[in-house]
């Protein structure tokens, strides 16, 4: 979601509680009897990118697939917003950009006859820093005494940490437990960066990981740094899908046809030796394999019989998604381009980050997207939609005085309030990587987890697609 790369601020994003919520509306008595087709059937929960990818792969491998989606739409955290915007414009309320090396999602785009549209390559050089009441071109801001040196020092020290990490098995690193106990906030504080450099680093990190640095495990951070170590900044956040990212999930769902069942929230799962039964939407679906392609928060609403192993239950109740909100405002002119600006801005105001959500299309009007995460994102989520929009517009006008009087329409999304998601994307807190990583990647009998939170590259649409491919390959062909 973020418009910031992991390497550069210039390269440009639930509170459901930890207690279990047991669904009592579907009583579970005796284990469901398997039907004749059970051995060839795979049930997928979640019709986001991860679930749809897994379902397509499983069907290709000979499985009879059913995809259960709680919402009345497909896509999960991929959601293109057209209304109330005008002039043919749209914006992404969820997953936004694709990197040049995101090969898995690009293969899907091409395979379904879709196209991508390129974003400007010079957003870094024409971005803005708003700090202590003053807007400054980013290049000039970083040229302050010691700022660029300390900024580069932070990433040099990060690279040293990443060098000893296998992204696929971060829990096996020699210093894994020590790193996991520390927070990214501790790491930043220990470097004693000059104030401007620290502002840039902390703002970028909060946007990148959808969580305040104090709530991010250093082992998770090192893993994410390791997996993009060879990816140049110029390859980051380079494209969107033409017509909106939702065109891809709609095409995938159309390919699956009536195998996708909407409006079917899962209430209970029965686990047997040879099959799994899912209670959803007032029906029972029994299969030989179950893919849970949803993040942990909504899993807390499912009753599992027998109970999940203690380590798995701890993961379900412990792993959160970072609080993330977006406000997307259409303006009748792109005032942010005055003086050659790109619209990409980092600020010490509550909204934190903004960018041109329409920079891959040509039009006079444009949409400025703000992305607010961490504690500020949680605070924004507590506001009504109208209040959140008003507050963001007011803050935007502080950064860009030319914004006043030019707003046309706004839309917003508070992902912490979305009951079937619970937040933006994976944010492993200190102490969680060693405990949860292997658990998430291992089967529980006939159940496997998929989703961006299960991938070594976390937090991207690419991550979700990779997880779907990985899980389907692990299940293998239908017998």
Find residue 331's DSSP bridge partners: 366, 407
| 54 vs 2, residue with greater confidence | 54
343-388, pLDDT tens digit by residue? 999 999 999 999 999 999 999 999 999 999 999 999 999 999 999 9
pLDDT band at 124 (very low <50, low <70, confident <90, very high): confident
402-459, pLDDT tens digit by residue? 999 999 999 999 999 999 999 999 999 999 999 999 999 999 999 999 999 999 999 9
Look up residue 206 and give its two tokens: 């909060």
- pLDDT of 27 reads 35
CATH code of domain 38-76+243-319+428-475: 3.50.50.60
pLDDT band at 21 (very low <50, low <70, confident <90, very high): very low
- pLDDT of 11 reads 37
Look up residue 98 and give its two tokens: 């694709």
Q: What's the pTM value of the predicted model, to 2 decimals?
A: 0.93
Give the C-alpha separation, 223 to 168, whole Å.
8
65 and 475 Cβ atoms separated by less than 8 Å: no
- pLDDT of 79 reads 98
What is the pLDDT of the chain when averaged over all its residues? 92
pLDDT band at 14 (very low <50, low <70, confident <90, very high): very low
Look up residue 291 and give its two tokens: 């893919």
Domain ranges of the chain: 38-76+243-319+428-475
- pLDDT of 219 reads 98
- Look-up: residue for tokens 């994410």? 224
370 and 351 Cβ atoms separated by less than 8 Å: yes
Residue 64 pLDDT exceeds 70: yes
Taking phi over 0 as left and psi of -120 to 50 as alpha, with beta for the rest, 133 belongs to: left
């Amino acid at each position: 979601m973020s418009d910031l790369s992991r390497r550069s601020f210039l390269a440009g994003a639930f509170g459901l509680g930890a207690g279990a919520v047991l669904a009592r509306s579907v009583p579970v008595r005796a284990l469901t009897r398997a039907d004749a087709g059970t051995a060839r059937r795979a049930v997928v929960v979640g019709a986001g990118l991860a679930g749809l990818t897994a379902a397509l792969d499983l069907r290709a491998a000979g499985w009879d697939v059913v995809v259960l989606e709680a919402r009345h739409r497909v896509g999960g955290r991929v959601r293109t917003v057209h209304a109330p915007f005008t002039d043919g414009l749209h914006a992404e309320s969820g997953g936004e950009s694709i990197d040049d090396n995101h090969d898995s999602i690009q293969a899907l785009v091409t395979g379904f006859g879709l196209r991508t549209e390129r974003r400007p390559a010079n957003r870094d050089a024409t971005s803005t820093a708003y700090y202590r009441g003053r807007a400054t071109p980013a290049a000039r801001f970083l040229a302050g005494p010691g700022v660029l040196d300390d900024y580069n020092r932070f990433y040099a020290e990060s690279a040293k940490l990443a060098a000893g990490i296998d992204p696929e098995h971060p829990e096996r690193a020699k210093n894994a437990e020590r790193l996991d106990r520390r927070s990214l906030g501790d790491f930043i504080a220990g470097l004693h960066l000059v104030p401007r450099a620290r502002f840039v680093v902390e703002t970028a990190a909060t946007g990148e990981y959808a969580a305040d640095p104090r709530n991010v495990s250093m082992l998770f951070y090192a893993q994410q740094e390791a997996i993009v170590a060879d990816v140049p900044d110029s390859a980051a956040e380079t494209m969107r899908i033409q017509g909106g990212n939702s065109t891809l999930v709609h095409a995938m769902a159309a390919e699956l046809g009536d195998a996708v069942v909407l409006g079917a929230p899962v209430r209970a799962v029965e686990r047997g030796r040879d099959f799994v039964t899912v209670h959803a939407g007032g029906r029972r679906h029994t299969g030989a394999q179950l893919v849970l392609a949803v993040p942990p928060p909504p899993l807390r609403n499912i009753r599992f019989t027998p109970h999940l192993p203690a380590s798995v239950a701890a993961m379900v109740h412990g792993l959160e998604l970072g609080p993330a909100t977006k406000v997307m405002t259409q303006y009748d002119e792109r005032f942010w381009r005055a003086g050659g600006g790109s619209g990409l801005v980092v600020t010490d105001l509550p909204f934190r980050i903004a960018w041109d959500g329409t920079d891959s299309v040509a039009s006079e009007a444009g949409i400025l997207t703000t992305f607010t995460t961490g504690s500020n994102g949680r605070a924004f989520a507590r506001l009504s939609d109208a209040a959140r929009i008003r507050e963001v517009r007011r803050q935007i006008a502080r950064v860009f005085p030319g914004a006043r009087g030019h707003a046309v329409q706004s839309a917003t999304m508070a992902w912490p309030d979305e009951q079937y998601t619970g937040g933006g994307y994976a944010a492993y807190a200190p102490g969680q990587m060693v405990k949860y990583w292997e658990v998430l990647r291992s089967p529980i009998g006939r159940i496997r987890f998929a989703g961006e939170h299960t991938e070594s590259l976390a937090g991207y649409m690419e991550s979700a697609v990779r997880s779907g491919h990985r899980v389907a390959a692990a299940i293998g062909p239908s017998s």
